Amino acid sequence: MAYPCPSSWPFEQAQLLTERLKNRSSTKDFVLFETGYGPSGLPHIGTFGEVLRTSMVKYAFEMINPDIQTRLYCFSDDMDGLRKVPDNLPNQDMLRRHLYQRLTSIPDPFGCHGSMGEHNNHQLIQFLNSFGFQFEFQSATDWYSSGRFDGTLKKIFHHYDEIMAIMLKSLREERQLTYSPFLPVCPKTGHVLQVPVLELKHDAYTIVYKDPNDDKFMEIPITGGYCKVQWKVDWAMRWAAFEVDFEMSGKDLIDSVKISSQICRVLGVEPPLNMGYELFLDEEGKKISKSKGNGLSMEEWLTYAPQESLAYYLFLSPKRSKRLYFDIIPKAVDEYLEFLKKYQTQTDDERRDNPVFHIHKGQPPKPTLNLSFSLLLNLASVCHAEDPEILWGFIEKYESFDQRPEFWSRLVHFAINYYRDFIKPKQVYKKPNEQEKLGLIQLKDGLLSLKNKNELDNQDIQGLVYEIGKSIFEGDLKAWFLSLYKILLGQEEGPRMGTFIALYGIDKMMTKIDEALQS
């Protein structure tokens, strides 16, 4: 029986892969997904996003093909030479002394691992494990030095001229003069050298090059980790050696995918299905970079919001570029919460197109409180709350539960962090003008009347706020709400006032209005 394929992009990619595998021969008894990581800088959200999205396609593929085994390789190109020192790493002078050496040969600038490559690999593994990803970490240094790449390296050696012909077409004239697929690792300095190969010795699988330090001719094996293969050829080598079935890449690698695919075919293996995605941008619209440290890091996002919200934001429209900065965090959290609520009333088919289905592998948690993250932020703002108990004091009057939900305990913590670092420094309270004073007086009087009702509904408060805006501000509700936010919260954006006042409490809001009127 065919699995009904939903329209969400992970299922679309999984279906494409399913069709493609019908015509692809393989020596493996499993389908292999791969992601790549260059550990010259600390992992950032772009790196994580590739693993997350690939895992979503992998899960969708497993839903369509439950009898086919799958695996995910997270491959670190940690044998690459350090070409420049990332701006966001400590011990810059030390790192500069180790330029062009393999990342796994350079001392750890943080001083806690055996090398810079090991430290950055550890950061990636630790974070991916915290999300519960099922993956197998692979190190270029391990594969090269152990000889497991030797067979494919020999294929590259045998097809040297064909590969050179492919590569030279893509290079500038000056680069063509020095290009070689093989990068020897200098036995004296440990530098990964970009030098022309002067001779191939087919009987011994060695290359001859001239040492740039002393002009002496050197002969070195291409196997056993004595050489590294240059980018594009290296990518194709991995695809061929592993028989990779699926890999994602950013739009800046479109040409690299085409070239590596050609080389992979020269090596006798069909390249993987590739899904291109748009790049993340910082607040200024510039591409985020590990070395520059612009944009948000994973650690920064997780200081202010739960990992589920990050996964949600990365799920959205991967083929459309998105800006990645602090202001988008509250919106991402609230949209994630809304999709959790929708999931409870959706059909099975609708659920498979819901982002939370893919974030939680078909088992999203049930919503525990009928609140929003934005509401918590605004509550923290008006209370100047830096103690979780202050927020819980309001929540527990508004919602009923036997024990505090763990997820909302995290949200309270994040709300305080976000308020402290982003809202509090910018809070500027507006003094009300005469028109605004009149509106505030009416709001206070109206709240006093509502307080005496036996059953008070949020909609009653919201209706009161609307009616005042219609009468005092002549229907310009936008101006009225903006005035409330600036006067009562000290900011230009705010919550649905009915829900917020109910959570904050009518008595406290009346006191807040009095303080504003006296300012």
pLDDT in tens, 270-280: 999 999 999 88
Chain-centre distance for alpha carbon 348: 28
Confidence of residue 2 (pLDDT cuts 50, 70, 90): very low
- Residue from 424, 446, 444 nearest 490 by CA: 424
Per-residue pLDDT of 456-502, as tens digits, reads 678 889 999 999 999 998 888 999 999 999 999 999 988 889 889 98
Least-confidence region, from 189-198, 252-261, 444-453: 444-453
Strands (E), 77-216: 136-139, 182-184, 199-201, 206-210
Across the beta sheet with 217-221, the strand order is: 199-201, 206-210, 217-221
Which residues are CB-contacts of 428 (< 8 A; sequence separation ≥ 6)?
486, 490
Q: What is the Cα–Cα distance from 504 to 493, expressed in whole angstroms?
A: 17
- Tell me what the mean pLDDT of segment 29-37 comes to: 96
- Residue from 102, 95, 77 nearest 189 by CA: 102
Taking each helix axis from N to C terminus, what angle separates 497-504 and 458-472, rounded to the nearest 10 degrees? 120
Q: Which residue has the tokens 């949209």?
A: 335
Confidence of residue 107 (pLDDT cuts 50, 70, 90): very high
- Determine the pLDDT at residue 287: 76
pLDDT exceeds 60 at position 3: no
- Determine the pLDDT at residue 106: 96
Under 8 Å between Cβ of 90 and 53: no
One DSSP character per residue, 239-308 reads: HHHHT--EEEEEGGGHHHHHHHHHHHHHTT-PPPEEEEEPPEE-TTSPBP-TTTT-S--HHHHHHHS-HH
pLDDT exceeds 50 at position 1: no
Torsion angle in degrees (nearest 10) through CA of 248, 291, 75, 51 = -40
Q: What is the Cα–Cα distance from 139 to 37, expressed in whole angstroms?
A: 10
| Percent of the chain whose predicted confidence (pLDDT) is above 70 | 97
Burial of 174 (0-12, 13-18, 19+ CB in 10 A): exposed
Residue type, 157: F
pTM here is 0.89
SS3 183: strand
pLDDT exceeds 70 at position 295: no
Q: What is the Cα–Cα distance from 98 to 114, expressed in whole angstroms?
A: 14
- Tell me what the mean pLDDT of segment 246-274 comes to: 96
- Determine the pLDDT at residue 131: 79
pLDDT exceeds 70 at position 436: yes
Q: What is the Cα–Cα distance from 35 to 22, expressed in whole angstroms?
A: 23
Q: Does domain 434-517 match CATH 2.40.110.10?
A: no
CB atoms within 10 A of CB 510: 17
pLDDT exceeds 50 at position 20: yes
- Determine the pLDDT at residue 145: 96
What mean pLDDT value characterizes the chain?
92
Q: Report domain extents, the chain.
A: 1-146+278-347, 373-426, 434-517
CB atoms within 10 A of CB 124: 20
- Determine the pLDDT at residue 321: 87
Q: Does domain 1-146+278-347 match CATH 3.40.50?
A: yes
pLDDT exceeds 70 at position 150: yes
Q: What is the Cα–Cα distance from 109 to 111, expressed in whole angstroms?
A: 5
CB atoms within 10 A of CB 273: 20
Q: Which residues, listed in sequence order, are joined to residue 394 by a DSSP beta bridge?
A: none
- Tell me what the mean pLDDT of segment 67-89 comes to: 93
339 DSSP 8-state letter = H
Q: What is the Cα–Cα distance from 218 to 198, expressed in whole angstroms?
A: 10
Q: Rg (Cα) of the chain, in Å, rounded?
A: 29
- Determine the pLDDT at residue 123: 86
Name the strand (E) or helix (H) holding 417: helix 406-418
- Determine the pLDDT at residue 452: 77
452 DSSP 8-state letter = T
Under 8 Å between Cβ of 211 and 16: no
SS3 499: helix
CB atoms within 10 A of CB 4: 10
Which residues are CB-contacts of 162 (< 8 A; sequence separation ≥ 6)?
266
CA dihedral over 101, 107, 113, 116, signed as positive or negative: negative
- Tell me what the mean pLDDT of segment 56-64 comes to: 97
- Residue from 117, 149, 137 nearest 36 by CA: 137
Per-residue pLDDT of 172-225, as tens digits, reads 999 999 999 999 999 999 999 999 999 999 999 999 999 998 989 999 999 999
Residue 287: what are its φ and ψ, rounded to 5°? -60, 135
